[in-house]
């Protein structure tokens, strides 16, 4: 390998041909996205679960098997379905030989997700232990692998088990490093499957999940406030939608293709956004601006597509322009809404009145602030060009690039903190936006303040979210502040900004909080970075009595070389999430409102006097 890196030795010996197994293990990101340690919902270990479960769901879609059992114990994942079972003679090849499967245009599968013959093979080759067992009419076959290499093959007759497939695997730490499953992420994945497959029951570690109302259940689960009208739920052949409006800003979508959650949308979501605006304008016979119709909209759409084309192996953005040969996505979605949404509004006059009132209110506010928008845009453009606030990256979420899903922006405060991150970042995918002091508390204010306040105006421009969430330039928007009282306050102020004016950034899973270490504990042989007092104590125990302990008081105190590790593969992020169980307005009213004395009383009543934390090892 060293010779390969030496350009002076570029000859025939430098040309290497890798086997599929070797390529997957060397370049796993091409198949499953980033690796990660399980702290983020899009980490590779969850993609691997999904690749296995997709096949079981495809069996249900084909009318075989109504129960899927998933267990996760000691980092071993097991998935058992009760479908037809993989044909026994092909079992080993189906889980180990690339581009082998039953979904290449044959009649066995239609409108499914796992179409490229890669998924479960990637799971196998990236696992230190992998078992596949298929049962068909009393016959069974079990094959085991280690890092994609076959270890055993066993055939059985006269078994009493029900037909179906069993897959078990342990992700290989040699590839992924240390990892842990966050069951909250797995549970949300399971819920999404149930919303899209009525009649299918999941059993996750013994807990059953099933949906009775499909996307309506999903919408209700994700509403952060009471909707203005009862959510609209419409379904037809190969399409289902759920629609509601709230009182806030922005628009938010949950889009799916053949049961696959497309977090970056795609052609189906674009067709829906266009069609809902067109249908509503025609219903009221008013030439409303589409943005006034869609402001505060939260919606879900699911379509079934023949041979779907995605823009990457991780299948998070649909590229198909047709639902099936000869039927365009745009016309399919548009015709469905033109008939069914129009019919619904005619039959539900009260909902139609509430919706029109909301559109008119949105229109009035938009026109009220239109006069200052042009000046605000010019200011944002000048500042960006002068590079005073934004140190941009080269690759963005909207680019057609394999690294687009890794694009992120760090929002930080102060020159020292932004300087440390800027020197440490990967300029290809990591941007930095520097705040000047604490941002304004915007709770209770109208969107006019976004254009009148320079910091908010420039932040909005940097993210490119003024007109459309589809244009968001970064997959992750990361609040990076000091781990002290002021830093926590800035986190609250920025979170309030997004909740107040751009909640869809949060609903769509783009907003994160960067966790930075509080302590560095080291001796001559090893160094540990600790994110809590408990981690510090464990590190001191490992390093011994002569351990040197440093307490980081701010991001600017961390050297660029050290910071590079904290914003790389091992970066710790907390995703900001909102659901119907979160009383957003009440929380903001209490913590960010003008009830100063009430808050003060709460703090005093809940103040805890901790024991002196100054230990001998600090002295």
* pLDDT value for 205: 96
Is 445 within a domain? yes
Give the list of residues 6+ apart from residue 197 with CB closer than 8 angstroms, or none. 57, 60, 61, 211, 259
Residues 474, 408: Cα–Cα separation, whole Å: 5
Is 166 within a domain? yes
CB 509 within 8 A of CB 574: no
Domain boundary among 172, 191, 208: 208
Decide which of 259 and 244 is more confident.
244
Q: Which of 116-125, 133-142, 241-250 has the lowest mean pLDDT?
A: 116-125
Domain range holding 108? 24-208
Q: Are residues 534 and 487 in the same domain?
A: no
How many domains does one find in the chain?
A: 4
* pLDDT value for 56: 92
Decide which of 103 and 437 is more confident.
437
Is 378 within a domain? no
Is 614 within a domain? no
Domain boundary among 187, 208, 229: 208
Q: Are residues 97 and 220 in the same domain?
A: no
CATH number, residue 278: 3.30.230.10
Closest C-alpha to 32, from 16, 54, 12, 15: 54
30-79: pLDDT as tens digits: 777 778 788 777 788 998 999 899 889 989 988 889 999 999 999 999 99
* pLDDT value for 418: 81
Q: What angle do CA 334, 339, 343 make, to 5 degrees?
A: 140
Decide which of 228 and 531 is more confident.
228
Is 338 within a domain? yes
255-286: pLDDT as tens digits: 999 888 887 788 999 999 999 999 999 999 99
Q: Are residues 357 and 412 in the same domain?
A: no
CATH number, residue 29: 3.30.565.10
Instruction: Give mean pLDDT, residues 531-540.
Output: 89
Instruction: Give mean pLDDT, residues 582-588.
Output: 70
Is 51 within a domain? yes
CB 390 within 8 A of CB 415: no
Residues 482, 486: Cα–Cα separation, whole Å: 7
Distances (CA, A) of 21 to 46, 92, 127: 20, 14, 11
Is 115 within a domain? yes
CATH number, residue 456: 3.40.50.670
Q: Are residues 144 and 173 in the same domain?
A: yes
Closest C-alpha to 448, from 398, 501, 395, 407: 501
Q: Are residues 181 and 167 in the same domain?
A: yes
Give the list of residues 6+ apart from residue 151 with CB closer than 8 angstroms, or none. 144, 145
Domain boundary among 177, 193, 208: 208
Q: Are residues 245 and 221 in the same domain?
A: yes
- Split at pLDDT 50, 70, 90, the class of 143 is very high
Instruction: Give mean pLDDT, residues 479-506.
Output: 88
- Split at pLDDT 50, 70, 90, the class of 140 is very high
Region for 259 from its dihedrals, namely left if φ exceeds 0, alpha if ψ lies in -120 to 50, beta otherwise = left
- Would the pLDDT of 616 be above 50? no
């Amino acid at each position: 390998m060293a010779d390969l890196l030496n350009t002076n030795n570029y000859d025939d010996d430098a040309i290497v041909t890798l086997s599929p197994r070797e390529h997957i293990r060397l370049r796993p990101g091409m198949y499953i996205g980033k690796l990660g340690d399980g702290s983020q919902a899009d980490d590779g270990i969850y993609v691997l679960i999904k690749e296995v479960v997709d096949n079981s769901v495809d069996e249900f879609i084909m009318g075989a098997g109504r129960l899927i059992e998933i267990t996760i114990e000691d980092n071993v994942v097991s998935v058992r379905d009760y479908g037809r079972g993989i044909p026994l003679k092909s079992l080993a090849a189906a889980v180990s030989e690339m581009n082998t499967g039953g979904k290449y245009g044959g009649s066995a599968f239609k409108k499914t997700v796992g179409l490229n013959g890669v998924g479960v093979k990637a799971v196998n080759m990236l696992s230190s232990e992998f078992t596949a067992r298929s049962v068909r009419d009393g016959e069974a076959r079990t094959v085991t692998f280690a890092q994609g290499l076959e270890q055993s093959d066993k055939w059985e007759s006269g078994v009493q088990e029900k037909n179906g497939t069993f897959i078990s695997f342990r992700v290989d730490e040699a590839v992924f490093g240390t990892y842990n499953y966050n069951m909250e992420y797995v549970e949300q994945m399971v819920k999404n499957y149930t919303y899209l497959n009525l009649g299918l029951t999941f059993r996750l570690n013994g807990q059953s999940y099933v949906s009775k109302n499909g996307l309506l259940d999903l919408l209700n689960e994700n509403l952060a406030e009471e909707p203005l009208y009862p959510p609209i739920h419409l379904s037809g052949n190969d399409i289902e939608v759920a629609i509601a409006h709230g009182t806030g800003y922005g628009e938010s979508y949950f889009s799916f293709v053949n049961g696959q959650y497309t977090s970056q949308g795609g052609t189906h979501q674009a067709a829906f956004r266009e069609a809902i605006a067109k249908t509503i304008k025609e219903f009221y016979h008013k030439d409303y601006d589409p943005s006034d119709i869609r402001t505060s909209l939260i919606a879900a759409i699911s379509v079934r597509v023949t041979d779907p084309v995605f823009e990457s192996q991780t299948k998070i953005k649909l590229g198909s322009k047709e639902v099936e040969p000869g039927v365009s996505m745009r016309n399919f979605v548009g015709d469905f809404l033109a008939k069914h949404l129009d019919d619904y509004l005619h039959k539900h006059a009260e909902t139609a009145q509430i919706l029109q009132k909301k559109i008119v209110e949105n229109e009035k506010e938009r026109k009220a602030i239109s006069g200052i928008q042009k000046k605000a845009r010019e200011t944002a453009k000048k500042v960006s060009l002068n590079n005073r606030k934004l140190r941009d990256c080269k690759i963005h979420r909207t680019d057609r690039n394999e690294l687009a899903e890794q694009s992120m922006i760090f929002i930080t405060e102060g020159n020292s903190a932004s300087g440390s991150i800027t020197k440490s970042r990967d300029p290809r995918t990591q941007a930095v936006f520097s705040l000047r002091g604490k941002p304004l508390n915007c709770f209770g204010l109208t969107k006019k303040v976004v254009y009148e306040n320079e910091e908010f105006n420039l932040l909005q421009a940097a993210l490119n979210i003024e007109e459309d969430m589809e244009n968001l330039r970064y997959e992750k928007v990361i609040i990076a502040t000091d781990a002290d009282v002021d830093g926590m306050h800035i986190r609250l102020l920025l979170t309030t900004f997004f909740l107040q004016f751009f909640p869809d950034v949060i609903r769509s899973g783009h907003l994160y909080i960067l966790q930075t270490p509080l302590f560095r504990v080291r001796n001559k042989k090893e160094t540990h970075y600790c994110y809590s007092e408990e981690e510090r104590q464990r590190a001191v125990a490992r390093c011994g009595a002569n351990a040197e302990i440093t307490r980081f008081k701010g991001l600017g105190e961390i050297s660029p070389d050290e910071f590079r590790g904290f914003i790389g593969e091992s970066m710790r992020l907390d995703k900001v999430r909102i659901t119907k169980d979160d009383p957003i307005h009440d929380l903001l009213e209490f913590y960010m409102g003008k009830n100063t004395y009430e808050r003060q009383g709460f703090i005093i009543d809940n103040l805890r006097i901790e024991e002196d934390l100054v230990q001998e090892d600090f002295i």
